[in-house]
Structure 1
Protein backbone atom coordinates (compact mmCIF):
# COMPACT_ATOMS: atom_id res chain seq x y z
CA UNK A 1 0.00 0.00 0.00
CA UNK A 2 1.29 3.45 -0.91
CA UNK A 3 0.46 6.17 1.61
CA UNK A 4 0.80 9.79 0.52
CA UNK A 5 1.18 12.38 3.25
CA UNK A 6 1.33 16.17 3.26
CA UNK A 7 2.24 18.66 5.97
CA UNK A 8 1.21 22.32 5.90
CA UNK A 9 1.33 25.22 8.31
CA UNK A 10 -2.05 26.65 7.39
CA UNK A 11 -1.99 29.81 9.55
CA UNK A 12 -5.68 29.52 10.61
CA UNK A 13 -7.67 26.53 9.42
CA UNK A 14 -10.97 28.38 9.62
CA UNK A 15 -9.75 31.41 7.66
CA UNK A 16 -8.14 29.19 5.05
CA UNK A 17 -10.66 26.37 4.87
CA UNK A 18 -11.16 27.03 1.12
CA UNK A 19 -7.53 26.35 0.26
CA UNK A 20 -7.39 23.30 2.53
CA UNK A 21 -10.32 21.94 0.53
CA UNK A 22 -8.59 22.94 -2.72
CA UNK A 23 -5.51 20.95 -1.70
CA UNK A 24 -7.58 17.90 -0.72
CA UNK A 25 -9.53 18.03 -3.99
CA UNK A 26 -6.61 18.65 -6.34
CA UNK A 27 -3.80 16.71 -4.69
CA UNK A 28 -5.68 14.07 -2.69
CA UNK A 29 -3.12 13.08 -0.04
CA UNK A 30 -4.20 10.21 2.19
CA UNK A 31 -3.08 12.18 5.24
CA UNK A 32 -2.88 15.94 5.72
CA UNK A 33 -1.13 17.29 8.80
CA UNK A 34 -1.87 20.92 9.63
CA UNK A 35 -0.10 23.29 12.02
CA UNK A 36 -0.96 26.70 13.42
CA UNK A 37 -4.66 25.89 13.14
CA UNK A 38 -5.53 28.74 15.55
CA UNK A 39 -8.79 27.08 16.56
CA UNK A 40 -10.31 25.04 19.34
CA UNK A 41 -10.75 21.48 18.11
CA UNK A 42 -14.55 21.69 18.17
CA UNK A 43 -14.49 24.69 15.80
CA UNK A 44 -12.30 23.13 13.11
CA UNK A 45 -14.53 23.00 9.98
CA UNK A 46 -14.58 19.22 9.62
CA UNK A 47 -17.83 18.94 7.64
CA UNK A 48 -16.19 20.09 4.42
CA UNK A 49 -13.24 17.78 4.92
CA UNK A 50 -15.55 14.83 5.57
CA UNK A 51 -17.44 15.54 2.35
CA UNK A 52 -14.15 15.37 0.47
CA UNK A 53 -13.38 11.92 1.89
CA UNK A 54 -11.50 12.78 5.08
CA UNK A 55 -13.83 11.70 7.90
CA UNK A 56 -11.09 11.06 10.48
CA UNK A 57 -9.17 13.61 12.52
CA UNK A 58 -7.00 13.77 15.61
CA UNK A 59 -6.19 17.26 16.82
CA UNK A 60 -5.18 19.56 19.63
CA UNK A 61 -6.30 23.16 19.56
CA UNK A 62 -6.61 26.45 21.37
CA UNK A 63 -8.24 29.75 20.60
CA UNK A 64 -6.22 32.04 18.36
CA UNK A 65 -2.83 30.36 18.62
CA UNK A 66 -0.90 27.21 17.77
CA UNK A 67 -2.95 24.04 17.14
CA UNK A 68 -2.20 20.84 15.21
CA UNK A 69 -4.47 18.45 13.34
CA UNK A 70 -4.14 15.24 11.33
CA UNK A 71 -6.83 14.69 8.68
CA UNK A 72 -7.09 11.17 7.29
CA UNK A 73 -8.91 9.11 4.71
CA UNK A 74 -8.34 6.10 6.95
CA UNK A 75 -9.23 5.31 10.56
CA UNK A 76 -6.66 6.83 12.89
CA UNK A 77 -6.33 6.35 16.63
CA UNK A 78 -5.45 9.28 18.88
CA UNK A 79 -2.34 8.18 20.77
CA UNK A 80 -1.67 11.34 22.73
CA UNK A 81 0.42 14.45 22.82
CA UNK A 82 3.43 15.92 24.60
CA UNK A 83 3.74 19.34 26.20
CA UNK A 84 7.46 19.86 25.81
CA UNK A 85 8.97 22.70 27.86
CA UNK A 86 5.65 22.83 29.73
CA UNK A 87 4.39 25.74 27.65
CA UNK A 88 0.74 24.67 27.78
CA UNK A 89 0.55 25.04 24.00
CA UNK A 90 -1.19 22.81 21.44
CA UNK A 91 1.98 21.96 19.53
CA UNK A 92 1.97 18.16 19.17
CA UNK A 93 -0.44 15.34 18.48
CA UNK A 94 0.15 11.74 17.48
CA UNK A 95 -2.11 9.35 15.58
CA UNK A 96 -1.72 5.66 14.74
CA UNK A 97 -3.05 4.11 11.56
CA UNK A 98 -4.43 0.59 11.40
CA UNK A 99 -1.20 -0.61 9.74
CA UNK A 100 0.69 0.37 12.90
CA UNK A 101 2.33 3.52 11.55
CA UNK A 102 2.42 6.38 14.06
CA UNK A 103 2.35 9.95 12.76
CA UNK A 104 3.73 12.73 14.96
CA UNK A 105 2.60 16.22 13.98
CA UNK A 106 4.70 19.04 15.50
CA UNK A 107 4.61 22.81 15.57
CA UNK A 108 7.91 23.83 17.16
CA UNK A 109 7.97 27.35 18.67
CA UNK A 110 9.19 30.00 16.26
CA UNK A 111 11.54 31.52 18.82
CA UNK A 112 10.90 35.24 18.51
CA UNK A 113 13.17 37.70 16.75
CA UNK A 114 16.42 37.77 18.75
CA UNK A 115 18.57 34.60 18.93
CA UNK A 116 19.59 35.13 22.55
CA UNK A 117 17.71 33.46 25.40
CA UNK A 118 19.01 36.03 27.89
CA UNK A 119 17.04 38.84 26.25
CA UNK A 120 14.36 36.82 24.44
CA UNK A 121 12.45 34.24 26.49
CA UNK A 122 10.81 32.82 23.36
CA UNK A 123 14.18 31.77 21.99
CA UNK A 124 14.94 29.96 25.22
CA UNK A 125 11.57 28.22 25.07
CA UNK A 126 12.35 27.02 21.55
CA UNK A 127 15.69 25.54 22.58
CA UNK A 128 14.15 23.93 25.67
CA UNK A 129 11.36 22.45 23.54
CA UNK A 130 13.89 20.87 21.20
CA UNK A 131 15.99 19.60 24.11
CA UNK A 132 12.98 17.84 25.61
CA UNK A 133 12.08 16.38 22.21
CA UNK A 134 15.62 14.98 22.05
CA UNK A 135 15.48 13.51 25.53
CA UNK A 136 12.08 11.91 24.90
CA UNK A 137 13.33 10.25 21.74
CA UNK A 138 16.45 8.97 23.45
CA UNK A 139 14.27 7.25 26.02
CA UNK A 140 11.56 6.05 23.65
CA UNK A 141 13.17 5.31 20.29
CA UNK A 142 10.59 5.75 17.52
CA UNK A 143 9.60 2.74 15.46
CA UNK A 144 7.42 2.61 12.36
CA UNK A 145 6.93 6.35 12.75
CA UNK A 146 6.70 9.47 10.62
CA UNK A 147 7.42 12.90 12.12
CA UNK A 148 6.14 15.93 10.26
CA UNK A 149 5.46 19.57 10.84
CA UNK A 150 6.61 23.13 10.98
CA UNK A 151 9.85 22.67 12.90
CA UNK A 152 10.72 26.34 12.40
CA UNK A 153 14.34 25.57 11.54
CA UNK A 154 16.01 25.50 8.12
CA UNK A 155 19.00 23.29 8.89
CA UNK A 156 21.06 23.20 5.69
CA UNK A 157 22.86 25.98 3.89
CA UNK A 158 20.71 25.34 0.82
CA UNK A 159 17.52 25.41 2.92
CA UNK A 160 17.70 29.23 2.97
CA UNK A 161 18.10 31.89 0.33
CA UNK A 162 21.37 33.16 1.86
CA UNK A 163 23.26 31.10 4.42
CA UNK A 164 25.68 33.93 5.21
CA UNK A 165 22.98 36.57 5.70
CA UNK A 166 20.76 34.36 7.85
CA UNK A 167 23.36 32.92 10.24
CA UNK A 168 22.22 35.34 12.95
CA UNK A 169 18.52 35.17 12.05
CA UNK A 170 16.19 32.97 14.11
CA UNK A 171 15.44 29.71 12.25
CA UNK A 172 18.95 29.28 10.80
CA UNK A 173 21.34 30.03 13.67
CA UNK A 174 23.99 27.41 14.47
CA UNK A 175 22.57 26.72 17.94
CA UNK A 176 19.11 25.95 16.52
CA UNK A 177 20.54 23.76 13.78
CA UNK A 178 22.59 21.91 16.40
CA UNK A 179 19.52 21.33 18.59
CA UNK A 180 17.49 20.03 15.66
CA UNK A 181 20.33 17.75 14.66
CA UNK A 182 20.35 16.30 18.17
CA UNK A 183 16.63 15.56 17.91
CA UNK A 184 17.18 13.78 14.61
CA UNK A 185 20.12 11.79 15.93
CA UNK A 186 18.31 10.83 19.14
CA UNK A 187 15.43 9.30 17.22
CA UNK A 188 17.57 8.00 14.36
CA UNK A 189 15.30 9.92 12.01
CA UNK A 190 15.84 10.36 8.28
CA UNK A 191 15.07 13.65 6.51
CA UNK A 192 12.82 12.22 3.81
CA UNK A 193 12.68 15.39 1.74
CA UNK A 194 16.42 15.74 1.45
CA UNK A 195 16.89 12.01 0.90
CA UNK A 196 14.72 12.41 -2.20
CA UNK A 197 15.94 15.89 -3.20
CA UNK A 198 19.55 15.96 -2.01
CA UNK A 199 20.80 18.98 -3.92
CA UNK A 200 19.78 22.57 -4.54
CA UNK A 201 17.88 25.38 -2.87
CA UNK A 202 14.59 24.19 -1.41
CA UNK A 203 12.05 26.30 0.46
CA UNK A 204 8.63 25.83 2.08
CA UNK A 205 8.12 29.32 3.55
CA UNK A 206 8.19 32.83 2.10
CA UNK A 207 7.51 35.92 4.20
CA UNK A 208 4.32 37.93 3.81
CA UNK A 209 6.54 41.02 4.00
CA UNK A 210 7.90 40.54 0.48
CA UNK A 211 6.08 42.67 -2.10
CA UNK A 212 6.50 39.85 -4.63
CA UNK A 213 7.42 36.68 -2.76
CA UNK A 214 7.86 34.66 -5.94
CA UNK A 215 10.21 37.08 -7.66
CA UNK A 216 12.23 37.79 -4.51
CA UNK A 217 12.33 34.06 -3.65
CA UNK A 218 13.84 34.67 -0.22
CA UNK A 219 12.56 31.43 1.24
CA UNK A 220 13.42 28.95 3.97
CA UNK A 221 12.70 25.22 4.37
CA UNK A 222 10.98 25.22 7.75
CA UNK A 223 8.57 22.32 7.14
CA UNK A 224 9.80 18.76 7.33
CA UNK A 225 8.94 15.08 6.90
CA UNK A 226 11.09 12.55 8.73
CA UNK A 227 10.92 8.75 8.88
CA UNK A 228 12.14 6.39 11.58
CA UNK A 229 15.03 4.15 10.58
CA UNK A 230 12.89 1.03 10.08
CA UNK A 231 10.75 2.65 7.36
CA UNK A 232 13.10 5.21 5.82
CA UNK A 233 13.59 3.08 2.72
CA UNK A 234 9.82 3.05 2.16
CA UNK A 235 9.75 6.80 1.51
CA UNK A 236 9.79 8.37 -1.95
CA UNK A 237 8.25 11.03 -4.24
CA UNK A 238 8.98 14.06 -2.06
CA UNK A 239 7.95 17.48 -3.33
CA UNK A 240 6.94 20.94 -2.19
CA UNK A 241 3.81 22.44 -3.74
CA UNK A 242 5.26 25.91 -4.25
CA UNK A 243 2.24 27.08 -6.24
CA UNK A 244 0.05 26.93 -3.12
CA UNK A 245 1.94 29.93 -1.72
CA UNK A 246 0.27 31.93 -4.51
CA UNK A 247 -3.30 30.74 -3.94
CA UNK A 248 -6.01 33.16 -2.83
CA UNK A 249 -5.50 34.29 0.79
CA UNK A 250 -2.52 31.95 1.14
CA UNK A 251 -0.59 30.73 4.10
CA UNK A 252 3.03 31.88 4.10
CA UNK A 253 3.97 28.18 4.01
CA UNK A 254 3.62 25.69 1.16
CA UNK A 255 2.62 22.05 1.62
CA UNK A 256 5.35 19.41 1.69
CA UNK A 257 4.55 15.91 0.36
CA UNK A 258 6.05 12.42 0.57
CA UNK A 259 4.82 8.92 -0.18
CA UNK A 260 5.52 5.69 1.69
CA UNK A 261 5.18 2.10 0.54
CA UNK A 262 3.95 0.49 3.75
Structure 2
Protein backbone atom coordinates (compact mmCIF):
# COMPACT_ATOMS: atom_id res chain seq x y z
CA UNK A 1 0.00 0.00 0.00
CA UNK A 2 1.10 3.60 -0.52
CA UNK A 3 2.34 5.32 2.63
CA UNK A 4 0.45 8.54 1.94
CA UNK A 5 -2.64 8.52 4.16
CA UNK A 6 -4.76 9.82 1.30
CA UNK A 7 -4.14 6.67 -0.72
CA UNK A 8 -6.24 3.62 0.06
CA UNK A 9 -5.34 1.35 -2.85
CA UNK A 10 -2.23 -0.76 -3.58
CA UNK A 11 0.71 0.81 -5.41
CA UNK A 12 -0.19 -0.87 -8.69
CA UNK A 13 -3.49 1.04 -8.62
CA UNK A 14 -1.78 4.40 -8.35
CA UNK A 15 -3.88 5.89 -11.16
CA UNK A 16 -7.02 4.96 -9.24
CA UNK A 17 -5.66 6.68 -6.13
CA UNK A 18 -5.00 9.89 -8.03
CA UNK A 19 -8.56 9.81 -9.37
CA UNK A 20 -10.00 9.24 -5.88
CA UNK A 21 -7.99 12.11 -4.40
CA UNK A 22 -8.90 14.43 -7.27
CA UNK A 23 -12.63 13.66 -7.38
CA UNK A 24 -13.56 12.86 -3.76
CA UNK A 25 -12.66 15.07 -0.82
CA UNK A 26 -14.51 13.16 1.92
CA UNK A 27 -12.23 10.39 3.25
CA UNK A 28 -15.10 8.12 4.31
CA UNK A 29 -16.70 8.29 0.86
CA UNK A 30 -13.30 7.81 -0.75
CA UNK A 31 -12.88 4.64 1.31
CA UNK A 32 -16.18 3.26 -0.05
CA UNK A 33 -14.92 3.63 -3.61
CA UNK A 34 -11.51 2.19 -2.74
CA UNK A 35 -13.04 -0.90 -1.13
CA UNK A 36 -15.41 -1.46 -4.03
CA UNK A 37 -12.63 -0.95 -6.58
CA UNK A 38 -10.74 -3.83 -5.01
CA UNK A 39 -13.86 -5.95 -4.47
CA UNK A 40 -15.24 -5.51 -8.00
CA UNK A 41 -11.98 -5.16 -9.92
CA UNK A 42 -12.96 -1.79 -11.41
CA UNK A 43 -10.72 -0.32 -14.06
CA UNK A 44 -9.85 3.36 -13.75
CA UNK A 45 -12.50 4.22 -16.36
CA UNK A 46 -15.17 2.20 -14.55
CA UNK A 47 -14.21 3.86 -11.26
CA UNK A 48 -14.64 7.26 -12.91
CA UNK A 49 -18.12 6.26 -14.11
CA UNK A 50 -19.08 5.00 -10.64
CA UNK A 51 -17.96 8.29 -9.11
CA UNK A 52 -19.86 10.28 -11.74
CA UNK A 53 -23.06 8.28 -11.14
CA UNK A 54 -22.70 8.60 -7.33
CA UNK A 55 -22.33 4.90 -6.59
CA UNK A 56 -22.01 5.59 -2.84
CA UNK A 57 -25.52 7.07 -2.74
CA UNK A 58 -27.08 4.32 -4.86
CA UNK A 59 -25.77 1.21 -3.12
CA UNK A 60 -28.13 -0.06 -0.42
CA UNK A 61 -30.70 2.61 -1.28
CA UNK A 62 -33.54 0.39 -2.53
CA UNK A 63 -36.85 -0.11 -0.76
CA UNK A 64 -36.79 -3.70 0.44
CA UNK A 65 -37.79 -6.17 3.13
CA UNK A 66 -34.43 -7.93 3.32
CA UNK A 67 -33.96 -7.28 7.04
CA UNK A 68 -37.32 -8.91 7.80
CA UNK A 69 -37.03 -11.82 5.36
CA UNK A 70 -33.35 -12.80 5.62
CA UNK A 71 -30.88 -13.59 8.43
CA UNK A 72 -28.85 -10.50 9.49
CA UNK A 73 -25.64 -11.64 7.78
CA UNK A 74 -27.44 -12.35 4.50
CA UNK A 75 -29.57 -9.20 4.60
CA UNK A 76 -26.49 -7.00 5.04
CA UNK A 77 -24.80 -8.66 2.08
CA UNK A 78 -27.88 -8.33 -0.13
CA UNK A 79 -28.39 -4.69 0.90
CA UNK A 80 -24.82 -3.96 -0.16
CA UNK A 81 -25.49 -5.61 -3.53
CA UNK A 82 -28.71 -3.91 -4.66
CA UNK A 83 -28.59 -0.33 -5.98
CA UNK A 84 -31.17 2.40 -6.49
CA UNK A 85 -31.29 3.78 -9.08
CA UNK A 86 -29.63 1.59 -11.68
CA UNK A 87 -27.98 3.63 -14.42
CA UNK A 88 -28.54 2.11 -17.86
CA UNK A 89 -27.13 5.10 -19.73
CA UNK A 90 -25.90 2.82 -22.50
CA UNK A 91 -29.51 2.43 -23.71
CA UNK A 92 -31.58 4.95 -25.63
CA UNK A 93 -35.27 4.31 -26.30
CA UNK A 94 -38.26 6.32 -27.49
CA UNK A 95 -40.03 8.51 -24.96
CA UNK A 96 -42.75 5.86 -24.73
CA UNK A 97 -41.46 2.30 -24.82
CA UNK A 98 -42.79 -1.14 -23.96
CA UNK A 99 -41.41 -3.59 -21.42
CA UNK A 100 -40.29 -5.99 -24.15
CA UNK A 101 -38.38 -3.18 -25.89
CA UNK A 102 -36.59 -2.40 -22.63
CA UNK A 103 -35.84 -6.07 -22.06
CA UNK A 104 -34.47 -6.52 -25.59
CA UNK A 105 -32.28 -3.44 -25.23
CA UNK A 106 -30.86 -4.76 -21.96
CA UNK A 107 -30.18 -8.21 -23.42
CA UNK A 108 -28.39 -6.65 -26.39
CA UNK A 109 -26.10 -4.88 -23.90
CA UNK A 110 -25.89 -7.71 -21.36
CA UNK A 111 -22.20 -7.11 -20.62
CA UNK A 112 -22.98 -3.50 -19.70
CA UNK A 113 -25.94 -4.69 -17.63
CA UNK A 114 -23.77 -7.14 -15.68
CA UNK A 115 -21.22 -4.41 -15.03
CA UNK A 116 -23.93 -2.11 -13.66
CA UNK A 117 -25.50 -4.88 -11.56
CA UNK A 118 -22.12 -5.55 -9.98
CA UNK A 119 -19.71 -8.39 -9.36
CA UNK A 120 -21.23 -11.82 -8.83
CA UNK A 121 -24.22 -11.62 -11.16
CA UNK A 122 -24.41 -14.39 -13.75
CA UNK A 123 -27.05 -14.24 -16.49
CA UNK A 124 -29.34 -17.28 -16.68
CA UNK A 125 -31.89 -16.18 -19.27
CA UNK A 126 -34.67 -13.84 -20.34
CA UNK A 127 -38.33 -14.73 -20.72
CA UNK A 128 -37.41 -17.68 -18.54
CA UNK A 129 -40.27 -20.18 -18.70
CA UNK A 130 -41.73 -21.72 -15.57
CA UNK A 131 -44.71 -24.09 -15.67
CA UNK A 132 -47.10 -24.20 -12.73
CA UNK A 133 -50.25 -26.33 -12.71
CA UNK A 134 -50.28 -26.65 -16.52
CA UNK A 135 -49.82 -22.89 -16.98
CA UNK A 136 -46.73 -21.23 -18.42
CA UNK A 137 -45.27 -18.05 -16.96
CA UNK A 138 -42.29 -16.05 -18.20
CA UNK A 139 -39.76 -14.21 -16.05
CA UNK A 140 -38.28 -11.09 -17.65
CA UNK A 141 -34.69 -11.66 -16.50
CA UNK A 142 -33.21 -14.39 -14.33
CA UNK A 143 -29.75 -14.20 -12.77
CA UNK A 144 -27.73 -16.26 -10.32
CA UNK A 145 -25.52 -14.43 -7.84
CA UNK A 146 -22.31 -16.35 -7.21
CA UNK A 147 -21.47 -14.66 -3.90
CA UNK A 148 -25.00 -14.67 -2.47
CA UNK A 149 -25.47 -18.22 -3.83
CA UNK A 150 -29.03 -17.53 -4.90
CA UNK A 151 -31.22 -16.82 -7.90
CA UNK A 152 -32.28 -13.23 -8.53
CA UNK A 153 -35.57 -12.70 -10.38
CA UNK A 154 -35.73 -9.32 -12.13
CA UNK A 155 -39.07 -7.92 -13.25
CA UNK A 156 -39.09 -4.86 -15.53
CA UNK A 157 -41.77 -2.18 -15.50
CA UNK A 158 -42.01 0.87 -17.74
CA UNK A 159 -44.38 2.69 -15.39
CA UNK A 160 -44.40 4.01 -11.85
CA UNK A 161 -44.56 1.40 -9.09
CA UNK A 162 -47.94 -0.20 -8.41
CA UNK A 163 -48.70 -2.36 -5.34
CA UNK A 164 -49.88 -5.29 -7.49
CA UNK A 165 -46.37 -5.65 -8.92
CA UNK A 166 -45.24 -7.12 -5.59
CA UNK A 167 -47.70 -10.00 -5.85
CA UNK A 168 -46.58 -10.88 -9.37
CA UNK A 169 -42.88 -10.81 -8.50
CA UNK A 170 -43.49 -12.70 -5.25
CA UNK A 171 -45.15 -15.48 -7.24
CA UNK A 172 -42.15 -15.71 -9.59
CA UNK A 173 -39.73 -15.85 -6.64
CA UNK A 174 -41.74 -18.66 -5.03
CA UNK A 175 -41.94 -20.51 -8.35
CA UNK A 176 -38.14 -20.44 -8.72
CA UNK A 177 -37.76 -21.68 -5.14
CA UNK A 178 -40.14 -24.56 -5.86
CA UNK A 179 -38.79 -25.56 -9.27
CA UNK A 180 -35.06 -25.00 -9.83
CA UNK A 181 -33.61 -23.84 -6.50
CA UNK A 182 -31.42 -26.52 -4.94
CA UNK A 183 -31.07 -27.25 -1.25
CA UNK A 184 -27.60 -25.70 -1.24
CA UNK A 185 -28.93 -22.42 -2.68
CA UNK A 186 -29.97 -19.49 -0.53
CA UNK A 187 -33.56 -18.20 -0.84
CA UNK A 188 -34.34 -16.56 -4.17
CA UNK A 189 -34.46 -12.75 -4.24
CA UNK A 190 -36.80 -10.59 -6.29
CA UNK A 191 -35.73 -7.27 -7.81
CA UNK A 192 -38.40 -5.01 -9.27
CA UNK A 193 -37.15 -2.26 -11.58
CA UNK A 194 -39.63 0.57 -12.13
CA UNK A 195 -39.52 3.90 -13.90
CA UNK A 196 -40.42 5.66 -10.66
CA UNK A 197 -41.85 5.02 -7.21
CA UNK A 198 -43.35 6.47 -4.07
CA UNK A 199 -41.22 5.10 -1.25
CA UNK A 200 -44.04 4.92 1.32
CA UNK A 201 -46.31 3.05 -1.11
CA UNK A 202 -43.51 0.56 -1.78
CA UNK A 203 -42.78 0.06 1.93
CA UNK A 204 -46.43 -0.67 2.72
CA UNK A 205 -46.70 -3.03 -0.26
CA UNK A 206 -43.63 -4.99 0.83
CA UNK A 207 -45.35 -5.82 4.12
CA UNK A 208 -47.82 -7.97 2.17
CA UNK A 209 -45.23 -10.51 0.99
CA UNK A 210 -43.18 -13.18 2.74
CA UNK A 211 -40.33 -13.40 0.20
CA UNK A 212 -37.27 -11.10 -0.04
CA UNK A 213 -37.87 -8.34 -2.59
CA UNK A 214 -36.11 -5.10 -3.43
CA UNK A 215 -37.68 -2.28 -5.44
CA UNK A 216 -35.42 0.09 -7.38
CA UNK A 217 -35.76 2.61 -10.15
CA UNK A 218 -33.67 2.84 -13.29
CA UNK A 219 -32.45 5.59 -15.56
CA UNK A 220 -31.79 5.35 -19.29
CA UNK A 221 -29.79 7.61 -21.53
CA UNK A 222 -31.87 10.73 -22.13
CA UNK A 223 -34.72 9.66 -24.38
CA UNK A 224 -34.89 11.13 -27.86
CA UNK A 225 -38.20 12.50 -29.15
CA UNK A 226 -40.25 9.90 -31.02
CA UNK A 227 -40.16 11.86 -34.29
CA UNK A 228 -36.35 11.87 -34.18
CA UNK A 229 -36.06 8.21 -33.17
CA UNK A 230 -38.28 7.23 -36.11
CA UNK A 231 -35.86 8.92 -38.51
CA UNK A 232 -32.77 7.12 -37.19
CA UNK A 233 -31.59 4.01 -39.08
CA UNK A 234 -32.15 0.66 -37.41
CA UNK A 235 -29.24 -1.58 -36.40
CA UNK A 236 -30.07 -3.87 -39.36
CA UNK A 237 -29.97 -0.92 -41.78
CA UNK A 238 -26.59 0.20 -40.43
CA UNK A 239 -25.15 -3.32 -40.74
CA UNK A 240 -26.51 -3.61 -44.29
CA UNK A 241 -24.88 -0.30 -45.22
CA UNK A 242 -21.55 -1.43 -43.76
CA UNK A 243 -21.73 -4.71 -45.69
CA UNK A 244 -22.40 -2.85 -48.95
CA UNK A 245 -19.56 -0.42 -48.22
CA UNK A 246 -17.10 -3.28 -47.62
CA UNK A 247 -18.19 -4.97 -50.86
CA UNK A 248 -17.48 -1.81 -52.86
CA UNK A 249 -13.94 -1.45 -51.50
TM-score by length of 1: 0.30
Q: Is the helix fraction higher in 1 or 2?
A: 2
Q: Is the strand fraction higher in 1 or 2?
A: 1
TM-score by length of 2: 0.31
